[in-house]
Amino acid sequence: EVQLVQSGAEVKKPGESLKISCKGSGYDFTNYWIGWVRQMPGKGLEWMGLIYPGDSDTRYSPSFQGQVTLSADKSINTAYLQWSSLRASDSAIYYCVRGGGHWGQGTLVTVSS
C-alpha cells in the first residue's frame, strides 16, 4: 500500500528556520515525483513545486522560487520542505503529494510571535 506520512504540526516564531518531511512507503521512492502544496486558512490549494527523488531534480513554482527549498534523501525515502526564515504569512497546512496522486495527511505550520 502506497503511503505518504508527514511530520507533525509545528509552531515557530518569525525568523526561525523549519524543515518538514514526507516519508514514502509501499513503492519505489525514486520513480515518482513528490510535490508540495500550500493551503492557507480558508483558501485554495497552491502548487509550490516538485522534486524527483532519484536525482533531486527540482521544479519550483515562480511564486515560491527562492522562498523555500525542496530536497530529498532517497536512502530513507523522505522528501523535505524547508524555510530559512519563516514569516507569519507562511502559516498554513502543507501537503506532499506523489506523482499519480497519493497525498500525505498534511502538516500544520503556525508562525506567530
Partner 1 sequence: QAVVTQEPSLTVSPGGTVTLTCGSSTGAVTSTHYPYWFQQKPGQAPRTLIYDTNNKHSWTPARFSGSLLGGKAALTLSGAQPEDEAEYYCLLFYSGLRGLFGGGTKLTVL
| Closer of 72 and 97 to partner 1 (Cβ) | 97
- Rounded CA-CA distance 74/66 in Å is 23
106 binds partner 1 (CB under 8 A): yes
101 binds partner 1 (CB under 8 A): yes
Least separation in angstroms between CB 20 and partner 1: 15
40 binds partner 1 (CB under 8 A): no
Give the Cα-Cα-Cα angle 28, 32, 38 (nearest 5 degrees): 125
Return the residue of 7, 61, 71, 91 that touches partner 1, per CB under 8 A.
61
Q: Residue 59: which residues within 8 A CB-CB, separation 6 or more? A: 49, 50, 51
| Closer of 17 and 105 to partner 1 (Cβ) | 105
- Rounded CA-CA distance 7/5 in Å is 7
Instruction: With CA atoms as reference, report the closest residue to 69 among 6, 20, 11, 10.
Output: 20
46 binds partner 1 (CB under 8 A): yes
Per CB under 8 A, residues contacting partner 1 are 33, 35, 37, 44-47, 49-50, 59-63, 95, 97, 100-106
